Amino acid sequence: MHGLMMDTPLLTPSLIVYAADYHGDTEVVSRSVEGPIHRYSYREAYARIQRLANALTRLGVREGDRVATMAWNGYRHFELYFAISGIGAICHTINPRLFHEQITYIVNHAEDRFIFADITFVELLESLQVRLGAVEGYVIMTDAAHMPETTLPDAMCYETLLEREAEEFAWPALDENTASALCYTSGTTGRPKGALYSHRSTVLHSLSVCTVDNAIALSSRVTVLPAVPMFHVHAWGIPYAAPASGAKLVLPGARLDGESLYELLEDERVTHTAGVPTVWLGLLDYLRESGNKLNHLEDLLVGGAAAPLSLIREFEEDHGVNIVHAWGMTEMSPVGTTGRLKRKFESLSPEARREIKRKQGRAIYGVELKIVDDRGTRLPHDGKSVGQLMVRGPWIARAYYKDPDATAAAFDDEGWFATGDVVNIDPEGHVQITDRAKDLIKSGGEWISSIDLENAAAGHPDLAEAAVIAIAHPKWGERPLLVAVPRKGAQPTGAAVVDFLRDKVAKWWLPDDVVFVDELPHTATGKVSKLKLRERFAGYKLPTE
Ligand code: AMP
């Protein structure tokens, strides 16, 4: 027997309609690409979103068309999220930090009809334009006064397009499973793969990340600044979730350096923020050098890569900020687990609490987890058994976009998605990532976790950043090489770093060599690029050979 409840579809425009109706005067603040801070209300945002929906319709965008964006976190990008998906088209957010070949690949693979770009990316698009086959038009996200000279064919101006349109738009009654947005994985291995989100998955994910335990704890009493780009899995869903909760939204534009972030965090009295460890290490550097303190920030969500213990400690001790460690993936919309502490752990010592916080957190409601061995057999959640993490849930991809080979490789017979992360899960449900399947160091038939070694090394006071890769070894198969960036002014030695690690990891885990570099290569999403590091040290001879 069916229940007798209304079956109203979950559609993305409902998120911004709600904000306009019930939080109409709450602000969306942006650091614009042109320079000044821009502010308007959800009510004004919604009026412009309707104009944009009319403009897209006039351009000939139809249901199912892919419309791409190449833009920073700003109000026009925010408008595009809702207008494109609202009319039934698909908002493809291009990560401009991808290699040029990858950008060309994804634009052609997605068959984008239009690209909306910030002025910052006009030159990049000019250089790629001849290879972007299906693109019919480019819209530069600025006003007439800032319109650049460009060789892009028939480039249009965003504000000019909006000017002549009406502020009312009747949203089509779409099926909630209609595709709404498309993001490609950052492609650290192989070619980028497309995750195609639906209206339903986006709305459910938004509702979930608003909740206190599940992620970002958004509400109308909160001011949230996503320091993760809107081209990286929708800034972890915040631009959708903020209007759904009535939170004030602060969009930091192109500037994610410590000083610029600090300025916005303080000026706008930001209470909640989210981003990758690299961004937060930059902010901590700035705070240390300037002697400034964070006066309003309460919660800082860190994810995308493992949060070092030293980062958690410094934010908590020096700035009174609660760190919430989270894990997710492009294929998961992206939030999968978050580490807000349960009340029963509050009485633990600060160090013991941080030991829990450095894990990647518990599954949020809606996300099912299991760990399996090489044969696909389930392993217990005992905090010791290590295997590949598999996931299932309503905002997790069930296939890759137009990519049957990648799909066949990533999903098991029961529909679970193989994350490629190697983890243990403790009896409380805390997930601890020990590695990416491909980054493990297989030494003498045993596994060494590069992440554990990196975390331990990151605690060395003279090191700013550290990465561990496997180097071929005639006796052991592979052995770890530690590549580290010294902190400004410090001159650590390899022997001192290895000594530092002695009481932190098993003896046979100690790196066979330590190499100091000025900088580590990062991927387009701010993670250390193990791929590039491995290329750079290909053929490296360890002293232990
Ligand atoms: P992406 O799809 O680019 O967001 O990358 C997802 C991958 O990033 C995951 O499969 C993990 O390997 C890694 N990742 C995300 N969050 C964390 C975290 N908190 N700790 C360690 N690795 C993480």
Ligand 1 pocket test: pick from 97, 433, 530 the residue with the most ligand atoms within 8 Å of its Cβ. Answer: 433
Q: What is the mean pLDDT of residues 21-36?
A: 97
| pLDDT score, position 11 | 98
Q: Please give the distance, rounded to the nearest whole angstrom, from the Cα atom of residue 331 to the centre of ligand 1.
A: 11
Q: Please give the distance, rounded to the nearest whole angstrom, from the Cα atom of residue 95 to the centre of ligand 1.
A: 16
Confidence of residue 378 (pLDDT cuts 50, 70, 90): very high
Q: What is the CATH number of the domain that holds 424?
A: 2.30.38.10
Nearest partner of 439 among 448, 430, 429, judged by Cα: 448
| DSSP string computed for 374-440 | TT--B---SSS--EEEEEE-TTS-SS-TT-HHHHHHHB-TT-PEEEEEEEEE-TT--EEEEEEGGG-
Ligand 1 atom index nearest CA of 186: 3
Nearest protein CA to atom 22 of ligand 1, as residue:
305
Cβ-based neighbour number of residue 506 at 10 Å: 9
Residues 427 and 448 in one domain: no
Angle between the N-to-C axes of helices 238-245 and 13-22, in degrees from 0 to 180, rounded to the nearest 10: 40
| pLDDT score, position 278 | 82
Q: Please give the distance, rounded to the nearest whole angstrom, from the Cα atom of residue 254 to the centre of ligand 1.
A: 22
Q: Please give the distance, rounded to the nearest whole angstrom, from the Cα atom of residue 433 to the centre of ligand 1.
A: 9
Residues 470 and 415 in one domain: no
What digits encode the pLDDT tens for the residues 419-458?
A: 999 999 999 999 999 888 778 888 876 778 888 899 899 8
Length of the chain as a residue count: 545
Answer whether residue 5 is part of any domain. no
Q: What is the CATH number of the domain that holds 33?
A: 3.40.50.12780
Answer whether residue 1 is part of any domain. no
Ligand 1 atom index nearest CA of 331: 2
User: Is the pLDDT at 41 greater than 90, yes or no?
Assistant: yes
10 Å CB burial of residue 367 (0-12, 13-18, 19+) is buried
Residues 186 and 273 in one domain: yes
What digits encode the pLDDT tens for the residues 77-94?
A: 999 999 999 999 999 999
Nearest partner of 325 among 241, 433, 242, 223, judged by Cα: 433
Distance (Å, whole) CA 458 – CA 339: 20
| Mean pLDDT over the full length of the chain | 94
Nearest protein CA to atom 7 of ligand 1, as residue:
329
Answer whether residue 4 is part of any domain. no
Ligand 1 atom index nearest CA of 420: 10
Ligand 1 pocket test: pick from 421, 525, 530, 531 the residue with the most ligand atoms within 8 Å of its Cβ. Answer: 421
Answer whether residue 264 is part of any domain. yes
Catalytic residue numbers, as ranges: 185, 331, 442, 447
Q: Please give the distance, rounded to the nearest whole angstrom, from the Cα atom of residue 452 to the centre of ligand 1.
A: 15
Domain closes at, from 357, 377, 397: 357
Residues 374 and 463 in one domain: no
Counted domains in the chain: 3
Residues with C-beta less than 6 Å from any ligand 1 atom: 185-186, 233, 303-306, 325-330, 334, 360, 419-421, 433, 436, 525
φ and ψ of 332, to 5 deg: -115, 15
What digits encode the pLDDT tens for the residues 456-476?
A: 998 999 999 999 999 988 888
Q: Please give the distance, rounded to the nearest whole angstrom, from the Cα atom of residue 412 to the centre of ligand 1.
A: 20
Residues 281 and 162 in one domain: yes
What are the Cα distances from residue 527, in Å, to 140, 322, 390, 466? 29, 22, 21, 12
User: Is the pLDDT at 195 greater than 80, yes or no?
Assistant: yes
Nearest protein CA to atom 20 of ligand 1, as residue:
306
Distance (Å, whole) CA 41 – CA 22: 12
Ligand 1 atom index nearest CA of 360: 19
Residues 293 and 428 in one domain: no
Identify the residue with better confidence: 373 or 269: 269
| pLDDT score, position 190 | 62
Answer whether residue 337 is part of any domain. yes
Residues 416 and 328 in one domain: no
Domain closes at, from 389, 407, 436: 436
pTM, entire model: 0.89
Residues 414 and 462 in one domain: no
Confidence of residue 236 (pLDDT cuts 50, 70, 90): very high
10 Å CB burial of residue 191 (0-12, 13-18, 19+) is middle
Residues 250 and 111 in one domain: yes
Residues 272 and 333 in one domain: yes
What digits encode the pLDDT tens for the residues 123-137?
A: 999 999 999 988 999
User: Is the pLDDT at 525 greater than 90, yes or no?
Assistant: no
Ligand 1 atom index nearest CA of 306: 20
Residues 235 and 184 in one domain: yes
Residue carrying the six token digits 């997790």 = 396
Ligand 1 atom index nearest CA of 525: 3
Distance (Å, whole) CA 289 – CA 388: 41
Answer whether residue 362 is part of any domain. no
Q: What is the CATH number of the domain that holds 477?
A: 3.30.300.30
100: CB partners within 8 A, 6+ apart = 124, 127, 128
Q: Are 265 and 225 in contact (CB under 8 A)?
A: yes
Residues 255 and 312 in one domain: yes
Domain closes at, from 357, 375, 408: 357
Ligand 1 pocket test: pick from 186, 233, 329, 440 the residue with the most ligand atoms within 8 Å of its Cβ. Answer: 329
Tokens of 8: 């109203």
Q: Please give the distance, rounded to the nearest whole angstrom, from the Cα atom of residue 305 to the centre of ligand 1.
A: 5
Answer whether residue 311 is part of any domain. yes
Domain extent, residue 270, equals 13-357
Q: What is the mean pLDDT of residues 317-333?
A: 96
Q: What is the mean pLDDT of residues 395-413?
A: 94
Answer whether residue 7 is part of any domain. no
| pLDDT score, position 123 | 97
| pLDDT score, position 1 | 96
